[in-house]
């Protein structure tokens, strides 16, 4: 699941940021990166307006019970 595009995440904070701060989290590495960045634990903070062709998001379906 990792390595296709960097994923916007809302479930974690980048190291050194404060809750409610201006940065958002990118996680998971992309096809243009190296092996070190291609892991779920690797993330960094960027402004929500940051754009690049290797950034996307992953849809998740919650099973209905």
Could you report the per-residue pLDDT of 14-34, keeping only the tens digit for each? 556 666 667 788 887 777 777
> Rounded to the nearest 10 degrees, how much is the dihedral formed by the CA atoms of 36, 37, 39, 40?
150
Backbone φ and ψ of 3, nearest 5°: 100, -5
Q: Tell me the mean pLDDT in the region 31-51.
A: 78
- Map 15-58 to HEC letters: CCCCCCCCCEEEECCCCCCCHHHCCCCCEEEECCCCCCCCEECC
The pLDDT score that the predictor gives to residue 48 is 82
């Amino acid at each position: 699941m990792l390595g296709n595009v960097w994923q916007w995440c809302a479930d974690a904070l980048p190291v050194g940021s404060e809750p409610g701060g201006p940065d958002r989290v990118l996680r998971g590495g992309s096809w243009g990166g190296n092996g070190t960045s291609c892991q779920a634990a690797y993330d960094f903070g960027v402004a929500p307006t940051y754009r690049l062709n290797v950034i996307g998001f992953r849809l998740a379906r919650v099973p209905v019970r």
